[in-house]
Structure 1
Amino acid sequence: MPRSAEPPAAKPLPGRKAQAARNDELILDAARAVFLADANAPISAVAERAGVGISALYRRYPSKDVLLRTLCHDGLRRYNAEADAALEEPEGWQALAGFLERVVEADVHSLTVHLAGTFTPDESILPEVQHSEQVNNELVRRAHESGQLRPDITPQDLGIVLEACAAVSTPDAERTGQLRRRILALLLAGLRADGELPGPPPHAGEFAWRWKRTPGPRAGD
């Protein structure tokens, strides 16, 4: 399947900047693991898992809100990158199916869904949100044109498919991946099936309520 060309290798960063970049990667990796396990975990748990001092973490992310926004923004950028790559595939159904497979494999969706409503979004994420809507629409349109996607599927249904896969979780990461791929294969078969689906499809913005931060104190604020 055609993919975007790899970007040119970045020049090595000098000493302090290189260390800061390494710390940032450690912090984000730790934050993904910590907040997937418990979205209400304190930010100190992230510093402990990353093996960095709390002051180093706060220099980069002055609040838990900032760290959570960064994680979700990063997940959305990854989602859009996979969607953009999928649009290079000339066959509409293969583009959509391959895109869903890669997003599930990368486990992009479970973090963003898990963190919904736990922080205050800001306008910096809007361009990525708008782009994701555009690429979702285009992927579904092309899959419809291929004649292989059932006609009553909408772009909003993609979120339901990915959420169903992300909901599968076991203590064994490898087994979780196997089961998610199995569920996705079943769902992809259903997207190509004949017959009517019960009820109307999700409408645009139907799940936006989850991104409205719920009131009340949280650990680690």
Structure 2
Amino acid sequence: MSGRKAQAARNDELILQAARAVFTADPGAPIAAVAEKAGVGISALYRRYPSKEALLQKLCGDGLRLYIEVTERALADDGDPWEAFAGYMRGIVDADTNSLTIKLAGTFQPTEELYGDAARSAVVATEVHRRAVAAGVLRPDVTVADIALLFEQLASIKLGGEERTTQLRHRYLALMMDALRAPTAHRELPGPPPGDAELSARWSPSA
């Protein structure tokens, strides 16, 4: 890239990172808050995204494509069926695309492209689920919708910093996986449980 194009690409990445942080914290935040967090001028932001709606569409489109990428990677895994399914679950939790679903659903008008990506994500998620049930490693009474809501429950966990949040999400994912597996298995839970101080800190006005 030329110097100007490279700078534009860096600004775009800063804008998208800032937008994700701002809008998952407060979907009603103004677009100026994104520019401020990204450290770019509001005019630079508007040159790339003419409206808040366009920025939200971009965020959710990127999230859908990441979800599809992780899911297709699981479908390409022809090894142990349970490990392929578990890898899918871990990959989606790490991608954290469900934080966007929780916060942004219903806040903007989806485009036809977003509808198409959403349909594709449903197809690949259904195939991952079908294969796991057919292989006898996933409880047959668990549906694709069940799994989607489990992802949202895990995405709602936010405690401490980013590292602590990731640690706790994988702790509770491990609990969920033991409940999902057919037959049920037991495993050591990763990471220590949350402490009283961590939980009570959320009630502090400065938290």
TM-score, reference length from structure 1 = 0.79
- Match 2:173 to one of 149, 159, 184: 184
Structure 1 residue aligned with 2:30: 42
Which structure features the higher share of helix residues? 2
Q: Tell me which moved more, 151-160 or 75-84.
A: 151-160
Measure how far apart 1:194 and its partner are. Answer: 6.1
Q: 2 CA distance for matches of 1:117 and 1:162?
A: 18
Structure 2 residue aligned with 1:206: none
Structure 2 residue aligned with 1:25: 13
Structural mapping, 1:50-199, within 5 Å: 50-90=38-78, 91-192=80-181
Does the 8 Å contact 2:137/2:183 carry over to 1?
no
Structure 1 residues without counterparts, runs of 5 or longer: 1-12, 196-221
Q: 1 CA distance for matches of 2:160 and 2:103?
A: 17
Structure 2 residues without counterparts, runs of 5 or longer: 185-207
Q: Secondary structure at the match of 1:66?
A: helix
Does the 8 Å contact 1:75/1:112 carry over to 2?
no
Segments ≥4 residues shifted beyond 2 Å: none
Q: 2 CA distance for matches of 1:147 and 1:194?
A: 8
Q: 1 CA distance for matches of 2:118 and 2:13?
A: 23
Q: Which amino acid aligns with 1:113?
A: I
Deviations 1:113-134, CA, capped at 9 Å, x for gaps: 2111111112111221111111
Q: Percent identity?
A: 55
Measure how far apart 1:145 and its partner are. Answer: 1.6
Q: 1 CA distance for matches of 2:143 and 2:102?
A: 19
RMSD of aligned alpha carbons = 1.5
Q: Secondary structure at the match of 2:50?
A: coil
TM-score, reference length from structure 2 = 0.84
Measure how far apart 1:66 and its partner are. Answer: 0.5
Does the 8 Å contact 1:165/1:180 carry over to 2?
yes
